[in-house]
Chain A
Amino acid sequence: AQSVSQHNHHVILSEAASLELGCNYSYGGTVNLFWYVQYPGQHLQLLLKYFSGDPLVKGIKGFEAEFIKSKFSFNLRKPSVQWSDTAEYFCAVRNRDDKIIFGKGTRLHILP
């Protein structure tokens, strides 16, 4: 079965630290990749997405992610986190059946 694996379930960082959240997926065909974020008390919302072209995609709030096809990875990065980045982050892949499969999420806590 297709799956999405997020390496870290809970990450704690200080403000200004660099962030990288790992994501690997198992589906071998053409994929569309997403990172969603859920801030405390808010809806899940799209952070960034990859469909084709440049494998380095930039999203909102200074986040970026790199699609590495050979590694089946789509890691999320931010060079300098802020307290307001405290949230839960979900990696997801859309497969050929037009279903989106989500990872278990990474809860990010930024210390002020």
Chain B
Amino acid sequence: EADIYQTPRYLVIGTGKKITLECSQTMGHDKMYWYQQDPGMELHLIHYSYGVNSTEKGDLSSESTVSRIRTEHFPLTLESARPSHTSQYLCASSENPGQGTYEQYFGPGTRLTVT
């Protein structure tokens, strides 16, 4: 059973608010990821991290930022939410090199609605 958690599960917030989506994992994985997913669309990688103090932007441009101060924690922040940020945000982590399979483990997602 994958142990990766996201909070909140659902969030409705007004335009201009600052929000932080939490993601944590207890598996000791170095690699963590944030994806954005709209209904009927593929998952788009927006941020990733290969370890503490490592963060990179993904393939889809995003106005969000991330931090990785601890291995287990990879929060995503939107400084000023807009309706265009309405989407589902999925956090994932993957096994460390040497553990072999590169499988990604996903959290339950945060469904964000910006009004």
Contacts and interface: CB of A to CB of B under 8 A. Distances in A.
Interface string A28-44: 00001010100000111
Interface stretch (A13-21, A65-73, A74-82, A102-110): A102-110
A43 B43 contact: no
Interface of B: 2, 31, 35, 40-43, 45, 48, 58-59, 90, 92, 101-104, 106-109
Nearest to B56: A99
Interface of A is mostly: strand
A32 B103 CA distance: 10
Interface in A49-107: 49, 51, 90, 94, 98-105, 107
B85 to A, nearest CB: 20
Nearest to B38: A104
A12 interface: no
Nearest to A104: B42
Nearest to A2: B59
A9 interface: yes
Contacts of A98: 31, 102
Given A32-B102, A49-B101, A90 B107 contact: no
A45 interface: yes
B108 A46 contact: no
A106 to B, nearest CB: 10
A105 B43 CA distance: 9
A43 B2 contact: yes
B31 to A, nearest CB: 8
Contact of B2 (A9, A45, A51): A45
Nearest to B108: A43
A46 B42 contact: no
Contact of B43 (A42, A49, A102): A102
B40 A45 contact: no
Contact of B42 (A34, A99, A105): A105
Contacts of B101: 49, 51
A94 to B, nearest CB: 6
B40 A105 contact: yes
A104 B38 CA distance: 10
